[in-house]
Structure 1
Amino acid sequence: MGSDGEAGAVYDSVLDAVGATPLVRLRRIVPEGSAQVWVKTEWTSPGGSVKDRAALAMVLDAEESGALRPGGTIVEGTSGNTGIGLAMVAAARGYRAVFVVPDRTTAEKQALLRAYGAEVVRTPGLVPQDDPRHVRRLAGRIAAGTPGGWLADQYDNPANPGVHERTTGPEIWAQTGGRVTHLVAGVGTGGTLTGAGRYLRRHGVTVVAADPWTYRYGGGDGSPYHVEAVGHYLHPLTGTDTWPRVYDPAVHDRVERIGDGDSLRTVRSLARSEGLLVGGSSGTAVAAALRVAAEAGPDAVVVAVLPDSGRIYLSTYFDDDWLTRRGFLDAVAGPRVRDTVGPYAPGLLVAPATTTVAALLAALDRAGPGGAVPVVLPRETDAVTWSAPDVIGSVRPADLVGLRPDERVGAHAGPPPATVGHGESTAAAAARLDAAAVGRHDAVLVLVDGRAVTQVRRDRLGGRPA
């Protein structure tokens, strides 16, 4: 707390308030004997996230080079935060702004973009990188087709990591009095990790990348996620997996892979035990920082960069119903779905969309009689659980009658099965399925931490009479 009578800073423009964010020590969720864990509170920047730094730096750089001229239009593909930062800068400096966002972006982020006067263009989030609907592809076309349009291109713009090397890294070093031993940051575009990491590595700091378990940066299969604004999703039909040019893997010393469940439960712990309301990528960073702190010992000083506020995730990460339906949280009262359906099968029989009819029929013969088989995007993986967004349909044995043996089952898939969370109240789950008119013989997927672990017939959950 500041001293009595101490005044806050005074600025000529809201943009002058970008950066210089406080460092806060975590007290209640750090186990005894671990290193100190401090967090860089990037959501205190005026646009609400770490992306304010990159947004302002990219615009100033474009103005200086002449790429962005007075009366121009700022265009970007964004999961939200970079767009919000650019929208703030656009409003303050008199530019029009157009942002392409994945359809999985929270309603709060989209509302913030519009509040700054920006135009929002929604596009499917789970498409191959070379699909014309892909966020970056669509943003590029809009920028090219707009008179005075300038594509910010946070993924390849060197001003993104450059600003973190000039500001974020030095701030952390100064705020800790040079005592920081470990930096932990999510990858995302790679700008924060690469820029701040470059500066701090020159001072002997160990740099740790925090990445969701399935994401490509840490060696995962790239399957869909529930934590926004971090990691690297890979659609199975992408031809060449292109990583952001601003991300330099040589900067970090190692990667800590964090499951979505650990990230989201850490987010809730930060709010309820530390009074810090932050987003999902912050949960990823803190979960990784706690691991690092436990290994580093009491003399180390770990700093985690927390990108944004939880206020833009109130409808998701802080909504008990949203979490429970996806298997991240238990309902307050039971019996719960897992109590009703009993032990889970050791694996979930699925049919990649490229599977032939003959191959699926052979698999069904080996597995014995069953209901609908979930049809999934084909991935090179031995996983026994599947990310729910990867389940794109379902097929029943009867659907295969009369088809050629070499036909692909994906072309004949019906709608994906309904889902329930494993910790959801059985009564609530059954009522929801009844309202959705899920039939008593229909297959229902059971989710644990957002991934399908097994399927059961609807009638095993009770509710609608047999």
Structure 2
Amino acid sequence: MTLINYFFMKEEINAYNNVLELIGNTPLIKLNRVTEKLEGNFYAKVEAFNPGHSSKDRIALYIIEEAEKRGILSPGDTIIETTSGNTGFSLAMVSIIKGYNCILAVSSKSSKDKIDMLRSLGAKVYVCPAHVSADDERSYYNVAKRLHEETKGSVYINQYFNQLNIDAHYKSTGPEIWKQTNGKITHLIACSGTGGTISGTAKYLKEQNPNIRVLGVDAFGSVLKKYHETREFDNDEIYPYRIEGLGKNLIPSATDFDMIDKFMKVSDEESAHSAREITRKEGLFVGYTSGAVLQAIKQYAEDGEFDENSNVIAIFPDHGSRYMSKVFSDDWMNEQGFFDSVNQEEVQKIEMIK
């Protein structure tokens, strides 16, 4: 054996053991064109760089590994969860690697793209009506609970009421942002659905600097903003809306409202156009809730929230590929009445060569 051959044999192959090792440490990317008319410096924490293309990879891995440590999960068991799509995708991905079955109760509001992706990962999917109350037996909350009761050896993740949802972001997203900004962050802005991302991230950041402003994003048709301001649940706030993974018709205990300084509501239409704007101007193919975050940034800026010294970190939760049949479909946008004299069809027309 030559010395050269011996050297190469000793060198280890630089590879990850599995896809789960890629979760976290997502990049911070400066926003240039979409915020060029606003005061301040704006950066996106782009969670689409996770292997499952969303921030939900973080909680899926963390909650499952905590359940394993506590002896709650054993190989061959079944993981059950409610999801608008992203959490389900992440849970299905982790389940494949760790050897679990996966059953998901999904809102009918979820895009066909998301539902097809869940099925492609081997998950059993139950599609539940979106516009029913949380206590309706057909709601995806109650369907998931029933499936858990009926399935032996199952664990219900219950992200809306699971403290581990907050802990996952407290231990990963928060420290990452603090390190990436060298502690110079002045504002955090993020969507609130289950509330785990904004609550856990905010908790860590405010422990480092209590002066950091935490700005929530909510949807028209959701109860979160009103509850934050009054601590009262107002059923009159609830009505159908289109954005997936943003807002709620219940109060999740995974939302720490004391960590959030202010909420802003955004519309379905403006959020959809803002998602397209991010893709068109920044080259970042991100999803509907990322558009909601950008729209909220614009509205907060109008209210004078930022100045030239602001360093604003926006969490962009997922990837645009999950919305090809919705936000990035001209047909869907037209059906919703989202095109008008100002916002015309934006995608390039296909030229057919005959």
SS in 2 for 1:150: strand
SS in 2 for 1:228: coil
1:316 to 312, 326, 330: 326
2:214 to 207, 214, 231: 207
Task: Confirm or deny: 8 A CA contact 1:58 1:152 kept in the other structure.
Answer: yes
Partner deviation per Cα, 1:322-356 (whole Å, 9 max, x = no partner): 11121111389xxxxxxxxxxxxxxxxxxxxxxxx
Report the Cα offset of residue 290 of structure 1: 3.2
Aligned to 1:79: 84
Task: Confirm or deny: 8 A CA contact 1:102 1:135 kept in the other structure.
Answer: yes
Partner deviation per Cα, 1:287-327 (whole Å, 9 max, x = no partner): 21234456311111001101101101011001111111211
Aligned-residue Cα RMSD (Å) equals 1.9
Once the two structures are superposed, the pairs formed by residues 429-444 of structure 1 within 5 Å of their partners are: none
Report the Cα offset of residue 124 of structure 1: 1.0
SS in 2 for 1:207: strand
**In the aligned structure 2, how far is the partner of 1:256 from the partner of 1:152?**
28
Aligned to 1:70: 75
> Structure 2: which 5+ residue stretches go unaligned?
1-13, 227-235, 346-354
**Are residues 169 and 216 of structure 1, via their aligned partners in 2, closer, same or farther at CA, if it must alter by over 3 Å?**
same
* 1:301 is the counterpart of 2:306: no
Aligned to 2:285: 277
Q: Which deviates more from structure 2 when the two are superposed, residues 314-323 or residues 213-222?
A: 213-222
Report the count of equivalent residues: 320
**In the aligned structure 1, how far is the partner of 2:39 from the partner of 2:266?**
19
Aligned to 1:251: 259
Task: Confirm or deny: 8 A CA contact 1:197 1:251 kept in the other structure.
Answer: yes
Partner deviation per Cα, 1:64-117 (whole Å, 9 max, x = no partner): 112211210001111100000000000010101010111221111111111111
Aligned to 1:394: none
* 1:119 is the counterpart of 2:124: yes
Amino acid in the other structure paired with 1:300? S
* 1:165 is the counterpart of 2:170: yes
SS in 1 for 2:258: coil
Aligned to 1:406: none
Amino acid in the other structure paired with 1:232? K
Report the Cα offset of residue 222 of structure 1: 1.8
Amino acid in the other structure paired with 2:83? T
**In the aligned structure 2, how far is the partner of 1:292 from the partner of 1:156?**
29
Amino acid in the other structure paired with 2:214? V
Aligned to 2:27: 22
Report the Cα offset of residue 123 of structure 1: 1.4
Once the two structures are superposed, the pairs formed by residues 66-465 of structure 1 within 5 Å of their partners are: 66-202=71-207, 203=209, 204-219=211-226, 221-233=237-249, 242-293=250-301, 295=304, 296-330=306-340
Amino acid in the other structure paired with 1:92? I
**In the aligned structure 2, how far is the partner of 1:161 from the partner of 1:251?**
11
Partner deviation per Cα, 1:436-455 (whole Å, 9 max, x = no partner): xxxxxxxxxxxxxxxxxxxx
TM-score (normalised: structure 1): 0.66
Task: Tell which structure's C-alpha radius of gyration is larger.
Answer: 1
TM-score (normalised: structure 2): 0.87
Runs of 4+ in structure 1 off by over 6 angstroms are none
**In the aligned structure 1, how far is the partner of 2:50 from the partner of 2:344?**
37
Task: Confirm or deny: 8 A CA contact 2:109 2:242 kept in the other structure.
Answer: no
Q: Which has the higher helix share?
A: 2
> Structure 1: which 5+ residue stretches go unaligned?
1-8, 234-241, 333-421, 425-466
Amino acid in the other structure paired with 2:188? L
Q: Which deviates more from structure 2 when the two are superposed, residues 103-112 or residues 48-57?
A: 103-112
Aligned to 1:445: none
Aligned to 2:9: none
Task: Confirm or deny: 8 A CA contact 1:186 1:210 kept in the other structure.
Answer: yes
Aligned to 1:49: 54
**In the aligned structure 1, how far is the partner of 2:100 from the partner of 2:331?**
39
Amino acid in the other structure paired with 1:319? S
Amino acid in the other structure paired with 1:150? V
Task: Confirm or deny: 8 A CA contact 1:289 1:303 kept in the other structure.
Answer: no
SS in 2 for 1:120: strand
Partner deviation per Cα, 1:200-223 (whole Å, 9 max, x = no partner): 122131100011133211128121
**In the aligned structure 1, how far is the partner of 2:287 from the partner of 2:17?**
30
Amino acid in the other structure paired with 1:329? F
